[in-house]
Structure 1
Amino acid sequence: MSGNQDAVPVPEPRVARFEQLAFGMFIHWGLYSQLGQGEWIQRTRRIPKEEYARLQTTFRADTFDARAIARTARRAGMGYITLTARHHDGFSLYDTRGLNRFDAVHSPAGRDLVAEFVEACRAEGILPVLYHTTLDWSREEYASDFGAYLDYLYKSVELLCTHYGPIGGLWFDGNWDRPNDDWRLDELYGMIRRLQPEALIVNNTGLGHRGELGHPEIDSVTYEQGRPKPMNRAGMKKYVAAEMCETMNDHWGIGSRDFMYKSLPHLIESLCACRKAGANYLLNVGPTAGGSIPKMQEAMLELMGDWLELNGRAIYDGRPSAVEGEGGDFALEGKDGKLYLFIHRLKIRGDSNVTVNGGGAGEKRFTGLHRPVSSIRWLDSGDLLEFQHEPSSGELRVVATGFPYGVNLVVRIAEVE
């Protein structure tokens, strides 16, 4: 292949802006939230369609405060939110405007909740993205007349593209249910490009096909519940981003008895692992039946925000680097020639009477850094670090000091100048 064929394409501005956001909130909320057993409860419990549909009569959204949720996302350091405008059960949080009556407007909530969400995101400087199922358990024609169903799907997405002003993206999910059928994606995506030219187009490839490229109009590949791998974009016709989506426990929709929460260190390390691969991290919340974020999840988001207040520059600005660390350590390229070293497994240093599990500090080795280095300092404290560097070989050795007593950042970042 020629040099031009091996070149990495320049990302479209919408994709470049998306990568800069780095961290987003996923919201799974709908009728299923009233049952508190996850978003697939209709299928897992084999609830008859007519019985499940009666949940619409008790859907009140009485604690749903879109502005408060957008503020929570901003407090967490998130730049965008992806909301389930319609999930697989077919119930829409938006006004379907005559396409059906299975929506929030025709429930006791009596409101267009997507309109509230989009308005709140804009007010808080958050990019609104709309999740929309492509499969639908509520529509008979999904199984009996797929062409008619695709017409319905097209009209549904067209509503989102025409009644809510500029939106950040459409995040589809469900094509994996009928992998061998023609979903008429040229038509669907062409309509989005015409009506929402700045909107990202994402279509989740599911658990079994993480990171797979799809239709040429797709702007980002997906990694559902799995850490991403670096993408080789050399020779691609178009620059495609990557995004990992992950739950805080084991369910996307609220699981009232799901106590299997991931740890805060796991979430921090997942965010860092995503950025190592040049991917975004989309972290899910499952609101209550009324629409508020559970306290545990809100607390985790606040702590993520605290961590990003100290380290956000490296997360938002950092891009994958040829400089490599050892073990889990790695580097990201920053702006103005800076380099960020991500160092794991440091321990607390302090008096032996109160400090346990000491160690982890000491010399850390990185390779592939051939440009001169003038200083290295911790991003969180500004403390300078000792180092040895051989530009000719590219080897850098940094003496990483342990955390002072009272501090443990899980992953500590050093800024190289």
Structure 2
Amino acid sequence: MQVDYTPTRENMANRNWFRNAKFGLFVHWGIYSVLGDGEWVMEQQRIDKQTYEKVASFFNPTEFDPKEWVRLIKDAGMKYITITTRHHDGFSMFHTKQSDWNIVDKTPYKKDIIKMIADECHKEGIKIFFYYSLVDWYHEDYYPRGATGHYSGRNNNGDWNKYIEFMKAQLTELLTNYGEIAGVWFDGLWDKKDADWKIGEIYELIHKLQPQCMIGNNHHHAPIEGEDFQMFEKDLPGQNKSGFSKDVQVSKLPLETCETINNSWGFNLRDKNYKSVKTIVNYLVRAAGNDANFLLNVGPMPNGKIQKEFADTLRRVGKWLQKYGETIYGVGKGPIEPRSWGVSTQKGNKIYIHILAPEDEILFVPLLKGNIRKINLYESNKPLDYIRNELGILIKLDKDDFNHTDTIVVIETKE
């Protein structure tokens, strides 16, 4: 771990921005999209590296348009993007000099898409995070082998220290050649839990190259020294429905939860389990009510397009945020703990109660500090009747007051 880590002023400012951003786009994209069976296809179909190399020759995303992607991010109301610079297959989506196993040297496309999307994000004020896999099913020096990657046909030898130096060199490229990077999103420490990852040296390198750059690591444990935000895979903070977050304590670092727009991270031709706008909005709202960001993933097609079903849904979520974004962006966790029916958020003297699954026409709110100025529906500004006693507040709602997606009650206190 990075010993005695003290975040810089730039890093703390970036953390503050991150806490307020609330919504980002996760992108899993690589040569695996050609096979249309998710990002783990090399492992799951037991494809050896010599065979898998052929996949790169079919990856030619001529319809990739970074302007279109960034426009969609903005339309969706998202403030940042986290994109895979490389996944577990070890293939780099940027022009690395550390190996020819990259998009410029091995595909007919021959362009650095990470450079293209980073440039467009910088131009349009969208912050960019780089997903970087610590696991590598391709590299010979990823040895001894971890829990995965046993079917890749690699030699049973290698130099682990060389692999660590390889990663440091790649991370140096990413943090030197692509402008300001908001953060690095690591994944894969779970593949070799007991290995000497030199993680402290890696974190120190990143913070030295770009002090504002936030580091998060999807290791499914409490954050370690040197990390700047904590992420939860397919779970809200404090939950463990996915099985990834068992006994993981929620830290005081900025928080983020990630989820897929269907059931797949990488492009899956057969996956039509599209989440509805309501489901996505509810997840976003519950994340905000847990003081976390929501990172929603799409897996672009091999031609470089984000499929229409995803794009249409994202734009509709964006329209919801245009109307209700005040209750999401820049808010903190409200005074009411998350409940089965919903959550609360707060900004200044306004408390927003999000009723996502109404249980009754009477809403009980535990005792709040401060005198109440008014209580009303956010959407119509309709005043609501309420009674306050020593236990809390009883707010009367009518059936007609409920919104199908999210009924928002605003409690405004006197400052």
* Structure-2-length-normalised TM-score: 0.86
Q: Partners of 1:241 and 1:325 in 2: how far apart?
A: 18
Q: Secondary structure at the match of 2:88?
A: coil
TM alignment of 1:87-126, pairs within 5 A = 87-96=87-96, 98-106=97-105, 107-126=107-126
TM alignment of 1:300-315, pairs within 5 A = 300-315=313-328
Q: Partners of 1:270 and 1:259 in 2: how far apart?
A: 19
Q: Secondary structure at the match of 1:316?
A: coil
Q: Look up the equivalent residue of 2:397 and give its one-letter code.
A: A
Q: Look up the equivalent residue of 2:319 and give its one-letter code.
A: D
Q: Look up the equivalent residue of 1:187 and give its one-letter code.
A: E
1:120 CA drift (Å): 1.2
Q: Secondary structure at the match of 1:149?
A: helix
1:324 CA drift (Å): 4.5
1:226 CA drift (Å): 1.4
Q: Secondary structure at the match of 2:236?
A: coil
Q: Partners of 2:136 and 2:400 in 1: how far apart?
A: 51
Q: Partners of 1:403 and 1:114 in 2: how far apart?
A: 49
Q: Secondary structure at the match of 2:142?
A: helix
Q: Partners of 1:333 and 1:266 in 2: how far apart?
A: 22
1:89 CA drift (Å): 0.8
Tell me the equivalent position of 1:362: 361
Give the 3 Å change call, closer, same or farther, for CA 295–372 of structure 1 in structure 2. Answer: same
Q: Partners of 2:393 and 2:142 in 1: how far apart?
A: 58
Q: Secondary structure at the match of 2:336?
A: strand
Tell me the equivalent position of 1:214: 223
Q: Partners of 1:309 and 1:65 in 2: how far apart?
A: 25
- Tell me, yes or no, if the aligned pair for 1:324 and 1:366 is still in contact at 8 Å: no
Q: Partners of 2:57 and 2:336 in 1: how far apart?
A: 57
1:330 CA drift (Å): 2.8
1:239 CA drift (Å): 4.4
1:277 to 284, 290, 294: 290
Q: Deviations over 1:319-369 (max 9, x none)?
A: 11333476423322212x1111111235xxxxxxxxxxxxx6622111031
Which range moved further: 15-24 or 100-109? 100-109
Q: Determine what percentage of the aligned residue pairs are the same residue.
A: 32
Q: Secondary structure at the match of 2:335?
A: strand
Tell me the equivalent position of 1:357: none
- Tell me, yes or no, if the aligned pair for 1:324 and 1:368 is still in contact at 8 Å: no
Tell me the equivalent position of 2:255: 242
Tell me the equivalent position of 2:4: none
Tell me the equivalent position of 2:243: none
Q: Partners of 2:373 and 2:403 in 1: how far apart?
A: 27
Tell me the equivalent position of 1:254: 267
- Tell me, yes or no, if the aligned pair for 2:27 and 2:297 is still in contact at 8 Å: yes
Tell me the equivalent position of 2:211: 197
Tell me the equivalent position of 1:352: none
1:39 CA drift (Å): 0.4
- Tell me, yes or no, if the aligned pair for 1:325 and 1:365 is still in contact at 8 Å: no
Tell me the equivalent position of 1:77: 77
Q: Secondary structure at the match of 2:193?
A: coil
Give the 3 Å change call, closer, same or farther, for CA 326–89 of structure 1 in structure 2. Answer: closer
1:15 CA drift (Å): 1.1
Tell me the equivalent position of 2:306: 293
Q: Partners of 1:82 and 1:37 in 2: how far apart?
A: 21
1:265 to 267, 273, 278: 278
- Tell me, yes or no, if the aligned pair for 2:12 and 2:212 is still in contact at 8 Å: no
Q: Deviations over 1:179-224 (max 9, x none)?
A: 101111111111111111111101112xxx3xx3232111111211
Q: Look up the equivalent residue of 1:345 and give its one-letter code.
A: A
Tell me the equivalent position of 1:413: 408
Give the 3 Å change call, closer, same or farther, for CA 409–79 of structure 1 in structure 2. Answer: farther
- Tell me, yes or no, if the aligned pair for 2:286 and 2:342 is still in contact at 8 Å: no
Q: Look up the equivalent residue of 2:326 and give its one-letter code.
A: R
Tell me the equivalent position of 2:154: none
Q: Look up the equivalent residue of 2:35 and give its one-letter code.
A: L
TM alignment of 1:130-141, pairs within 5 A = 130-141=130-141
Q: Look up the equivalent residue of 2:270 and give its one-letter code.
A: R
1:401 CA drift (Å): 3.5
Q: Deviations over 1:61-96 (max 9, x none)?
A: 211111211111111111100000111111111110
Q: Partners of 1:386 and 1:202 in 2: how far apart?
A: 45
Q: Secondary structure at the match of 1:62?
A: coil
Q: Deviations over 1:246-300 (max 9, x none)?
A: 0112210011101222333221211111111111110000100011111111111
1:394 CA drift (Å): 5.1
1:302 CA drift (Å): 1.0
Tell me the equivalent position of 2:246: none
Q: Partners of 1:403 and 1:51 in 2: how far apart?
A: 60
Tell me the equivalent position of 1:225: 234
Tell me the equivalent position of 1:400: 397
1:155 CA drift (Å): 0.4
Q: Deviations over 1:10-59 (max 9, x none)?
A: x9221111010001000000100011110000010011111111111121
Q: Secondary structure at the match of 2:175?
A: helix
Q: Secondary structure at the match of 1:214?
A: coil
Give the 3 Å change call, closer, same or farther, for CA 188–320 of structure 1 in structure 2. Answer: same
Q: Partners of 1:37 and 1:214 in 2: how far apart?
A: 32
Q: Look up the equivalent residue of 2:224 and give its one-letter code.
A: H
Q: Partners of 2:119 and 2:138 in 1: how far apart?
A: 28
Q: Deviations over 1:351-402 (max 9, x none)?
A: xxxxxxxxx6622111031311111222223222222223xx2511222344
Give the 3 Å change call, closer, same or farther, for CA 168–409 of structure 1 in structure 2. Answer: farther
* Structure-1-length-normalised TM-score: 0.86
Give the 3 Å change call, closer, same or farther, for CA 242–324 of structure 1 in structure 2. Answer: closer
Q: Secondary structure at the match of 2:135?
A: coil
RMSD of equivalent CA atoms: 1.9
Q: Partners of 2:14 and 2:161 in 1: how far apart?
A: 31
Q: Look up the equivalent residue of 2:212 and give its one-letter code.
A: E
